Structure 1
Amino acid sequence: MTETAALPGFAGRTYLFQVDNGAAFRNAYSADGRRLRWEGLGESAGQWEDVALHVAQVGPQVYFVSWTEQSGITVSHVMDLAALTVRVFWTYEGEGGRVGELHTGTLEQLA
């Protein structure tokens, strides 16, 4: 579900998303900006999922993007398309309960 009325700036584009912890993903956004197919790279190679997005534009070329994966992982990005940076918060089940991690990352437009 998309909360923005206008087409998001990332719609129809594909990015290499490199996270500060060494993880990397190929993120391909649908033409309407409502879905994401992420593919893990490096240690996460072979992992992928097609997910529905929740999107809100929070500034010029800045988007809050969130989704829930089948595994129960939740991911929330603040994407700055002008600076090609991302702040990401994800949560997952860990020992003793839910774990949350805050990371930064960079984007490189591939297509």
Structure 2
Amino acid sequence: MSETAALPAFAGRTYLFQVDNGAVFRNAYSADGKRLHWEGLGESAGQWEDVELQVAEVAPQIYFVSWTEQTGITVSHVMDLGALTVRAFWTFEGEGGRVGELHTGTLEPVI
């Protein structure tokens, strides 16, 4: 018997993601929850990308979401849609090799 996975609660939704380091992103998720169009705002204005997501619901309304960007940056989020918070970890090439950063942030639904 095959099971159909439920759509993630963020599917088809758009959020402003405000990160503790001052960065702000507009994250628009596809209707099937498998893709993300992110767009930098403020100091990151003009940066954007469409990425394929890996998604797992780890508890009710809590999702582990991960993707790799064309630049090689990897991003992983634990999104708590009940509390509208995110724990984010991203890695990128820096001086001396790969660098990782852990951040927190908030989500604001865009109507």
Question: What TM-score comes out, normalization by structure 1 length?
Answer: 0.96
Alpha-carbon deviation of 1:25?
0.1
Q: Which runs of 5+ in 1 are unaligned?
A: none
Q: Does 1:23 align with 2:38?
A: no
CA offsets 1:47-72 (integer angstroms, 9 cap, x no match): 00000000000001000000000000
Secondary structure in 1 matching 2:43:
helix
Task: Letter of the 1:94 partner, please give it.
Answer: G
Segments of 4+ moved more than 2 angstroms: none
Once superposed, what is the RMSD of the aligned Cα atoms? 0.9
Partner of 1:63: 63
Letter in 2 for 1:101: E
The one-letter code matched in structure 2 to 1:91 is T
Size of the aligned set, in residue pairs, is 108
Structure 2 counterparts to residues 1-111 of structure 1, below 5 A: 5-111=5-111
Q: Which runs of 5+ in 2 are unaligned?
A: none
**Structure with bigger gyration radius:** 2
- Give CA-to-partner distance per residue, 1:74-104, whole Å, 9 cap, x none: 0000000000000000000000000000000
